[in-house]
Every structure is written in structure tokens, then in C-alpha cells.
Amino acid sequence: MRQTMLMLTVLVLAMLLILPGTASAEITLETVLTGLDNPVRLIAPAGDDRLFVVERTGLVRIFDQDGTARGVFLDVSAETRVVSERGLLGLAFAPDYANSGIFYISYTDDSLTPDSMSLLYRYTVSANPDQADAASAELLLQIYQPDSNHNGGHLEFGPDGMLYLAMGDGGGGGGGDTGNNAQNESSLLGKMLRLDVSAPGLPSIPTDNPFVGQTPRDEIWALGLRNPWTFSFDSLTGDLYIADVGQTKFEEIDIQPVSSAGGENYGWRLMEGNACFNPPTDCNPGALVLPTHEYGHTGATCSISGGYVYRGTALPDEAGAYFFADWCSGQFWSLRWTEGQGLDTVTERTAEFRREFTPSQVASFGQDGHGELYVIENGPGKIHRIIEYSQSPTPSASMGQMKGRW
């Protein structure tokens, strides 16, 4: 009897070890949208079931979760066009969008040749919830752009209700921030800006911005950025994640904890990642904030595409994981970071993301109104939802469902 009980105990323990759910669920991609023209963003107001897709050509389109097109929400294509890195680059909904109907866009106006302006506009939705009121356009800010690359342009509202706007260093053919804009406190280029847009009219400067009264540009929240193409706030903790595109050797992620009072200098052009850039030695006076994570240009890597910390419900094992990718190599990673403890793990996820097809030219990640994440393929004009592997449809079925819808 004792021997039988022992064998049963061993059998039960063995079964527990192989029960489903004892290991982290794997993930993959499900194609949701195809046939898009230069998509760069996918967002939605909190709790909204619709998907708002920003095309760099000047359109904001709306889709249902299953990919059904609902029409064009906003069209500013007459004011902008795709030249190098110019175009419609940012979209953010006011925290009270459900009541106010207010949203913001940023784009580069290409009417000045070869120069341009980065523009920030406020809009309101029309009586039709799927269509913006084009006549409500209100110019809030314009920033001179000396070249067609490194325009930045991403917008996000922070947990403090302030609007954050990322600006690249102004670019140029040779790179290297030849104008030293990122370290110039009189320039808004190469900076993270923080604006109070809670009242009608032009933005005001938050009184707790770190350089108020100390520099010519009180809008500055952080400096020393090269081209923070995508940044995002952890919707649970409020921490700020900045994916900053490197020069020729390193890509970096800078994480600013929610407890920060701002004012961080992330180093560019003095440093690229953890290495000196200009000057080549003795570049850090001691006050620079070094990257939380960097990766070098090995193999085909060349340009980081930032994402979001996962806070949805469909992938419980991924809660707290920040996803990012590389534009050139098509590699994917996730990392975990906690204030006070620092960087925990960095895990390559390429095999999971490429399980059924091979995404290319990943411009950024998207986040819907329920915290689920998406991968945005710019050149191919496709958007994929990150799902558990067990939920994945066949690639042919997914693509077939979307074909010919717009």
C-alpha cells in the first residue's frame, strides 16, 4: 500500500510539472491591417474599441478591431508629404477625450524648401465620432527644421496630464548633430518638451518644468537626444521609456522614472550610447544620464523602433515587459525594468515574432485603447497584433480577410 501511494505521489508531481500554464505562454503576430500607406502610429483613446492609424502621407484612418475600415478621421495631406523623415508623425488624444473630443497632431510642413517647420495642432472631433472637425485646427507651436531627417514628432500625454513632444536634433546629411542642437539650451531640437494644454489657446509652460527661468526655452523637459522617434509612458507606473536612434554604432533606451523632476541630459552629441562621440574622449562632465540599455550595430542592426510596456489583459505573462525592435534587422526584444532595482532582463523575441511570417521595416509599435500591442510595418503597409501563439490564425487566412477592404 505504501509503495502504491508513493508511486501515485510521484505521478501527480510529474503531471503538475507538465500541466499547461506552468511555463510562460509564447507569443506571435496576427495580421490585422494591410494596404496602408506609410503607417507610423496606431493608438486609441483609453477604453475605445477603434484603431486610429497615422499614415505619414497625412491621413488618420479609423478601423474596427477586426480590420474593417470606418473611414478617414483626418486628412492633412495637402499640408505635408513624405520626404525623407518628414510627414504626419504624431497623434495624441486628450486624457478627457471622451468628453472634450480634443486631440493633437504633429507634422512637418514641407512648403518651405529645403527647410521645413515642425507644427503642433489642436483639433476637436465633429458631430460624427469617426470624423474630425477640420475647421477646428488651431496652431499651437512651430519649430524650425533645418533638414528633412531627425524631425522626431511623437506625442504622448503623461500621467501628469501634460503633453510631451519629442524633437530630433535637426538631422543633416552627415549626421553627428553638426549644429550641436541637442546640447544647446536655446534650441528645442534634440529635446523632450513638456507643455500644459489643459486650457484653451496657446500652451502654457508648466511651472515645475526643470529649466523655467534658467534657459531661453522653458518648454524643455530633457535634453541630449538624437532622434527619439518613439517614447511612451508605462500606463501603470508612469515611467517614461525613450527609444533614441543612434548614429553609427549604438542604439539606446533611456528610462526616466515617474519620480523624476525632469532635466536629464541623455548625452548626445557628447556621447552615443555609453561611448564618447564628440569629443572622442573625456566627453562626460559627470552629469550625463547613461542609457538603461544599448545595443551595438552588429549584423544588420541600424535603428531602434521603440514600443510600449505591456499592460493589456490578453497576455498576462507579458505584464510589465517593454517591447522594441530594429528597423533594419527585423529583430525583436523585450526588457523589464523597475525603479530602484534597475534593468532586470533583456530577452530576444525574434523567433516568436517571426513564427509565421517575417516583418520588415518595423517603424514602431502601437497600443490600442485596451493596452494591447501592435507591430507597425512601414514599407509593406501592414499592422499586426501581438497575441498568444495558440490563438494565431494561419497567415493566408489573415491576409485573405483583409484583402481588398480599402
Dump pLDDT digits (tens) for 351-405.
999 998 999 899 999 999 999 999 999 989 999 999 999 854 544 334 333 322 2
Read off the pLDDT of residues 184-201 as tens digits, 9 standing for 90 and up.
999 999 999 999 999 999
Among 177, 188, 182, 193, which residue's Cα sits nearest to residue 288?
182
Mean predicted confidence (pLDDT) in 336-344? 96
Radius of gyration of the chain from Cα atoms? 22
Per DSSP, the residues of 74-120 read EE-TTT---STT-SEEEEEE-TTHHHH-EEEEEEEETTSSS-EEEEE
Mean predicted confidence (pLDDT) in 22-43? 91
Q: Give yes or no for residue 206 having a pLDDT over 50.
A: yes
Higher pLDDT, 14 or 94: 94
C-alpha cell recorded at residue 365: 509599435
Q: Give yes or no for residue 273 having a pLDDT over 70.
A: yes
Q: Give yes or no for residue 21 having a pLDDT over 50.
A: no
Name the pLDDT band for 24 (thresholds 50, 70, 90): confident
pLDDT at 399: 37
Which one-letter DSSP state was computed for residue 338?
Answer: E
Distances in Å between the Cα of 202 and the Cα atoms of 74, 198, 207, 210 are 21, 10, 15, 20
* Parallel/antiparallel/unpaired status of strands 132-145 and 116-125: antiparallel
Q: What is the widest separation between alpha-carbon atoms in the chain?
A: 90
Q: Give yes or no for residue 68 having a pLDDT over 90.
A: yes
Q: Give yes or no for residue 19 having a pLDDT over 60.
A: no
Q: Give yes or no for residue 310 having a pLDDT over 50.
A: yes
Mean predicted confidence (pLDDT) in 337-359? 95
pLDDT at 148: 77
Range from 137-146, 148-157, 268-277 that averages highest in pLDDT: 268-277
CA distance linking residue 250 with residue 272, whole number of Å: 6
Q: What backbone phi and psi angles, to 5 degrees, belong to 373?
A: -105, 155
Q: State the amino acid at position 303 in one-letter form.
A: S
Q: Which of 208-217, 268-277, 384-393 is predicted with the least confidence, judged by mean pLDDT?
A: 384-393
pLDDT at 380: 92
Q: Give yes or no for residue 146 having a pLDDT over 90.
A: no
Residue 28 β-bridge partners: 387
pLDDT at 114: 60
pLDDT at 153: 94
Higher pLDDT, 51 or 2: 51
CA distance linking residue 64 with residue 182, whole number of Å: 40
Go through the domains of the chain in sequence order and give each one's CATH number. Answer: 37-381 (2.120.10.30)
Read off the pLDDT of residues 258-272 as tens digits, 9 standing for 90 and up.
999 999 999 999 999
Global model pTM greater than 0.75: yes
* Parallel/antiparallel/unpaired status of strands 191-195 and 27-33: unpaired
Read off the pLDDT of residues 97-115 as tens digits, 9 standing for 90 and up.
999 999 999 999 876 556 6
